[in-house]
Structure 1
Amino acid sequence: MRWAPTSRPTAPHSTWGCLLERRTPKYQVIAADLTTKIRGGELPPGSALPPQKELSAAYGVTLVTLRQALRQLEDDGLLSQQPGRGTFVASPKATYRLDSLRGLAEDLRAQGHTVSTEILDQAMHRAPAWVAAHLGTGRALRLERLRLLAGRPAVHQLSWVGSPAGAELRAADLSDTSLYAAIAGHGIVVHRASEVLRPEVLTAPVADLLRSPAGTPVFVSDRVTYGLDDQAIVVDRATILGTAMEVRTERAVTGLSVQWSSSS
């Protein structure tokens, strides 16, 4: 099948086209056209683009200009360039944002993803040492959940909620309710959170729950959420499939503070 661009960056056929040609760099016109094809389903995930020489001829531009457009779409997460194989439409990934204080499911739904939750455990237990270091010794609500994106397991989330909120939420229906919202419903205000995100690989039994082989790359998020009195409310550990999600944040001069440190 011959490649047919929706719009060409050269030889415009109208006055509007001439203005677009003068104001918009050619590579951006190509990038916009390919984006339209990808988001519209004409180029589905996993499909291969024509060879670059064929594509540049179809758009009437040089290889340098075409490659600039392809790089932009790769940076946007829409394309994957594989040396020796070609350029392919990337599978869409959910984004785990670091610059918001919301529940994981809230973040994903805000991005337009279909999220469902399976409750694996919701009962009072004695907190293990890594949780007790923040919540104190004693019993806390252990909330184990499996997050599914479009019906496929993507995140295993283990949350420990300290008292008094934990005891009050042990019988609550949290399958479709944000834990943060449920806590706020009991008069406890979420003030801030501290989070560490690190790369790991899946091990049993979480690998079985996520229906992925052991050794699959994952992100592990350890988050501690605090109330207005600066006392820990929730200790949360989320194991996120690296094949299903990406991590993204926005940086500003007075915005998010990112610190890098060695894991050794």
Structure 2
Amino acid sequence: MTTPRTPKYQVIAADLSAKIRGGELPPGSALPPQKELSGLYGVTLATLRQALQQLEADGLLSQQPGRGTFVAEPRAAYRLDSLRGFAEDLRAQGHVVATQILGQAVGTPPAWAAAHLGDRPPAVRLERLRLLAGRPAVHQVSWIRGAALAEADLSATSLYQALADQGVVVQRATEAVRPGALDQATATLLRQPAGTPAFHSERITYGLDDRALVADRATILGTLLEIRTERAITGLTVSWAQLA
């Protein structure tokens, strides 16, 4: 039985991928011009472009019209298929994550949070800045039912773990993520120009009694993070909603 030959573009993609992942081609470096690359690999421009398109789809390359092809900066993935906190998610992927607490106090939830938690205080307002490898990546404001976590040290402990330490069991969470851009205030916190692409997330976390425990809004830097999901016959359900 004859073994099928691997298409040439896949061979090229695998070779370039190995060089990128191995550090031979570092982030931000430019690849040789396409005509030169096609000659080096002994293929047509069409075959080379197939390989480059595959690597771009994999997030390893960035093709910039008029400038050339560059090795992409590594992006962390914000997963939607796990019930974990942001920092836990990224640490599980091997990233270095730090948390700065910008504010933590008992207060009255605003209308959007009260709609889920109920408008009776107390609730803890927790404002955090998440840094990925030392770079600001996410600004989060969470409203937590009750006042038990008002004095808790949440700079090194996840919110879900802190709830568990209080005997509170998290059952499920709903989350909506919409594309947008940084406003001036958040841009300053994330050290980016206003208008930089971002994701806006609203997550509501529920306990065993199906009461909302946490109402959370986050602004996620779109140039540093991407969203990934894994789909199976049974598993994550993805639904699409029309934006007004």
Scaled by the length of structure 2, the TM-score of the pair is: 0.94
- Report the secondary structure of 2:188's partner residue: helix
**How many percent of aligned residue pairs carry the same amino acid?**
71
Query: 1:146 corresponds to which residue?
Result: 129
Inter-partner Cα distance in structure 1 for 2:184 and 2:39: 51
SS in 2 for 1:121: strand
Bigger Cα displacement from structure 2, 177-186 vs 200-209? 200-209
Written as runs of structure 1 = structure 2, the 5 A alignment for 1:32-47 is 32-47=14-29
Matching residue of 1:12: none
- Show the counterpart of 2:106: 124
Q: Name 1:173's counterpart in structure 2.
A: 153
User: Which deviates more from structure 2 when the two are superposed, residues 22-31 or residues 127-136?
Assistant: 22-31
Please state if 1:197 is matched with 2:180. no
- Count of residues paired in the alignment: 242
User: In the aligned structure 1, how far is the partner of 2:122 from the partner of 2:110?
Assistant: 9
Distance 1:215 1:23 in 2: 47
User: Equivalent residue for 2:207?
Assistant: 227
Q: Which residue matches 1:99?
A: 81
How far apart are 1:58 and its partner, in Å? 0.9
Aligned ranges for residues 205-216 of structure 1 at < 5 Å? 205-216=185-196
Give the letter for the 2:201 counterpart.
Answer: S
- Is 1:57 matched up with 2:39? yes
Matches within 5 A, 1:14-93: 23-93=5-75
Unpaired runs of 5+ residues, structure 2, are none
Report the AA paired with residue 98 of structure 2.
S
Q: For 1:65 and 1:202, how far apart are their aligned partners in 2? A: 39
SS for the counterpart of 1:109 is: helix
How far off is 1:23 after superposition?
A: 4.6
SS in structure 1 opposite 2:201? strand
1:143-174 deviations in Å (ceiling 9; x for gaps): 100001111111001111102xxx22111111
Give the aligned partner of residue 160 of structure 1: 143
Instruction: Output the CA distance in 1 between the equivalents of 2:185 and 2:47.
Output: 49
1:172-222 per-position Cα deviation (integer Å, ceiling 9, x unaligned): 111011111111111111111111101122113222211122222211100
- Residue 254 (structure 1) shift: 2.5
Matched, 1:240 2:220: yes
Mapped partners of 1:162, 1:260: distance in 2: 29
SS in structure 2 opposite 1:38?
helix
Whole-Å separation in 1 of the counterparts to 2:36 and 2:193: 39
Q: Does 1:186 align with 2:166?
A: yes
Give the AA of the match of 1:245.
L
| Deviation by residue 1:100-134 (Cα, 9 ceiling, x = unmatched) | 11100111111111111100111111111111111
Gaps spanning 5+ residues in structure 1: where? 1-18
For normalisation by structure 1, the TM-score amounts to 0.87
Please say if 1:135 is aligned against 2:137: no
Matches of 1:185 and 1:29, distance apart in 2: 51
2:148 alignment partner, SS class: helix
SS for the counterpart of 2:48 is helix
Paired AA for residue 101 in structure 1: L
